[in-house]
Amino acid sequence: MKKFISGLVLGLGISAASVGYASDTVQIYLFNARYMFNGEEKIVEDPYKSLNYEGHIYLPIRFIAENTGLQVNYDELLQTVSVKASPVYISKSSAITLAKSTDKLNNDVRWEAQFIDIHRNDSNSQLMDRAVWKVNGLYPAGNKTIVTLDAETGEQFSLTKLEAWGEVIPPTPDMGLVYGLAVNALLKSDPGLTREMKYIAVDPTGLKDLGEGDMEEILQSLNGNGVLVMKASFDELKAKGMVRDVNALEGVLLIVEKVVYAKDSILIDGYIFKTGLAAASSRITIQRDGEGWRISSVQGRGVS
């Protein structure tokens, strides 16, 4: 008897209202019950049914689970029903809204979100069996930002936690020095773009994990070029009237797109922007050198 009822309430299905099991005969009644979930009415219909047996109502547990965010499985061999919580994820539009809140000053960014379900076997990883929203923002100047969010809570992760070559490695406290090396490498990557430049602007958008005084250290590292050095995004330059037609600058804009930490090195992707038709992208590897850092390689990634 119990076996029959277990199969029924799991939605495995029956074809008659009266059944025989072994030497027993029972009378049950199937009906379409109405249920309320958080104030919203749901009607149990095929393939699920509620049943009445001797005045007791038996519920289709799989239907209940599906409407309450639970996962249910039936082990026929063990005759065991297992129920566990199923994650509820924030929506794509909510993920984009949260990503936008990280850069409230820029209204012209184009945002796209991708859902990623992560399953990792690294016991040291803080991202084991976790789903995330990866939200990409494309700025008018062509630079990009990536905001990674916990798909359940909306908490923002550092990009490094997802892409640090299988490890979760904290940033170095020397980020002012590291970014200073990187932006100087970007500046030197294409001498043609810096000819007759009137200023150097550093976009702070992609400079993650900055400590107190790091931004000033980055700007000071560029002071030897004989021109004005400032912190500004493309939109901020535009608001100051420093962007001409066809997105052309009289100076250059240095942009960091991506930062990945490894054990003894840091990989930085970025580019130098002059106009919408003139920019050079580079991948820079910065290596630990004793108690300091040095550039170990600069690879050009294309000129537009």
pLDDT of 245 reads: 76
Q: What is the pLDDT of residues 225-270, one digit of tens each?
A: 999 999 999 999 999 989 887 778 999 999 998 888 777 888 899 9
Query: How crowded is residue 299: how many other Cβ atoms within 10 Å of its Cβ?
Result: 11
Split into its structural domains, the chain has a count of: 3
The b/e string for 11-35 (b: 16+ C-beta within 10 A; e otherwise) is: beeeeeeeeeeeeeeeebeeeebee
Q: Last residue of a domain, which of 85, 104, 120?
A: 85
Residues 271 and 269: their CA atoms lie apart, in Å, by 7
Q: How confident is the model at residue 303 (pLDDT cuts 50, 70, 90)?
A: low
pLDDT of 198 reads: 93
| Residue 97 per-residue DSSP state | H
In percent, how much of the chain has pLDDT > 90? 19
The CATH number of residue 217's host domain is 3.10.450
Residue 168 belongs to some domain of the structure: no
List the domain range (segments joined by +) for residue 128: 92-163
* Same domain assignment for residues 61 and 105: no
Q: What is the pTM of this model?
A: 0.48
Residue 21 belongs to some domain of the structure: yes
Residues 7 and 13: their CA atoms lie apart, in Å, by 7
Residues 129 and 255: their CA atoms lie apart, in Å, by 33
Asked if 301 and 190 count as a contact pair (C-beta separation under 8 A), the reply is no
Residue 126 belongs to some domain of the structure: yes
* Same domain assignment for residues 265 and 228: yes
Residue 169 belongs to some domain of the structure: no
Q: What is the mean pLDDT of residues 137-141?
A: 73
Q: How confident is the model at residue 141 (pLDDT cuts 50, 70, 90)?
A: low
Residue 218 belongs to some domain of the structure: yes
Q: What is the pLDDT of residues 63-88, one digit of tens each?
A: 777 677 677 777 778 888 887 766 77
In percent, how much of the chain has pLDDT > 70? 74
Q: Last residue of a domain, which of 63, 85, 107?
A: 85
More confident residue, 206 or 142: 206
pLDDT of 216 reads: 94
Q: What is the pLDDT of residues 11-44, one digit of tens each?
A: 333 333 444 444 456 677 777 777 787 677 777 6
Residue 170 belongs to some domain of the structure: no
Residues 110 and 57: their CA atoms lie apart, in Å, by 53
* Same domain assignment for residues 77 and 97: no
User: By mean pLDDT, which of 71-85, 156-170, 236-250, 272-286 is the weakest?
Assistant: 156-170
Residue 231, token pair as written in the block: 């912190």
